Amino acid sequence: MQPTKTLATMALLALAAAASAQGVETVTPDRARANFARPITLAADDVRAFPAPPTGFADARPGVAAGRVEEFSYASGVTGTRRSASVYLPAGYSAEKRYPVLYLLHGIGGNEHEWRGYVRAPQVLDNLIADGKALPMIVVTPNGRALPDDRSPPADRVFTAEHAAGFAKFERDLLDFLIPGVEAKYPTLGDRRQRALAGLSMGGGQALNFGLAHLDTFAWVGGFSSAPNTKPAAELLADPAAARRQLALLYLSCGNKDGLINVSQGVHRALKTSDIPHVWHVDEHGHDRDSWAENLFHFAQQLFR
């Protein structure tokens, strides 16, 4: 299910609302608009780490075997409900094999279908796997809004504290209920070196917040166009030595036309100061699916090597 342009526009204006749940800043609709209208100042190293993907990289290709997507249901002790996630199983999937797992998180206006419908993640992965550029993997796209009513809210509820808090509450839902549920049902490798976490926008902030706080669970972490819910660098990098020792890959990206680029720039510069290896990729897009599809293309090729 592809979000409408109206929903996408609303989500862009709303992303910064979730910062209030982390105590980062007090956000109103006007503040959210101001965040996207911030002047963009690029430094010398705010450039591409990779060339642009080939034309059609996110389109279904004739002759390429498609993976399948199915719904996964699990009981959450955080919400007290059964919750749903979308699970991508690569072409040739077999219960007799074991697979690494990538967890992909959506934006503030999205849900578990955003990566599939709006970004077209299955097509990106199908093509990469068929070309031998990415390893076959299971990809889980959950609903990152850990509330009893986890539906995408109407416009008048996007800026509520309850809605924003649901994204912070997802940390326990992910670690204590979703991951154990996935590993009980699917043939996963079940090791931190075989588990990745990434997200777009609001989900990018979640991925950095949760992934860097739980390096015993995730060795591969990616934040694409991360929103202002991203914790301050001093909190994200509380133990630089552990990050240097345990991370297989930390990947940051943003578009150079994205008013939220200052969030990712701040994390990147703190990583440089702390001498923590990472990828910093700045493309020519805004806060949009073109950037997110491209960065999934680049990120997926590096995973689980």
Q: What are phi and psi of 111, to 5 degrees?
A: -155, -165
Q: What digits encode the pLDDT tens for the residues 154-180?
A: 887 776 778 889 999 999 999 999 999
Count of beta carbons in the 10 Å neighbourhood of residue 270: 16
Please count the CA atoms within 13 angstroms of the CA of 31 that sit on its side-chain side: 13
Backbone angles phi, psi at 251, to 5 degrees: -120, 125
How many separate helices (H) and strands (E) can be counted in the chain?
A: 12, 8
With respect to residue 91, please indicate whether it lies within any of the assigned structural domains. Answer: yes
Using alpha carbons only, what angle is made at residue 272 by residues 266 and 277, rounded to the nearest 5 degrees?
A: 115
SS3 state of residue 17:
helix
Instruction: Judge whether 45 lies within some domain.
Output: no
Assess contact for 244 and 14: CB atoms under 8 A: no
Residue span of the structural domain in which 159 resides: 60-302
| List of residues 6+ apart from 243 with CB closer than 8 A | 212, 215, 237, 250, 274, 276
- Return d(Cα 104, Cα 207) in angstroms, integer: 8
> Mind listing the pLDDT tens digit for each residue in 261-291?
999 999 999 999 999 999 999 999 999 999 9
DSSP string for 64-100: PPP-EEEEEEEEETTTTEEEEEEEEE-TT--TTS-B-
Q: Which amino acid is at 224?
A: F
pLDDT given for residue 157 in this prediction: 77
Query: Which pLDDT band holds residue 187 (cuts at 50, 70, 90)?
Result: very high
Residue 27 is assigned to a structural domain of this protein: no
Task: Look at residues 180, 118, 175, 174 and name the one whose alpha carbon lies nearest to residue 145.
Answer: 174
H helices of 24-79, in order, are 29-36
pLDDT band at 18 (very low <50, low <70, confident <90, very high): very low
Is 222 within the bounds of a domain? yes
Residue 2 counted as domain residue:
no
**What is the domain-level CATH number for residue 78?**
3.40.50.1820
The model carries a pTM of 0.91
Length of the chain: 305
Per-residue pLDDT averaged across 249-272, rounded? 97
d(CA 215, CA 220): 9
Q: Which residues does residue 89 pair with via DSSP β-bridges, in sequence order?
A: 68
Assigned domain for 126 exists: yes
Report residue 201's pLDDT band, with 50, 70 and 90 as the boundaries: very high
Our count of domains for the chain comes to 1
At 186 the pLDDT is 98
Residue 203 lies in a domain: yes
Tell me, yes or no, whether 47 lies in a domain: no
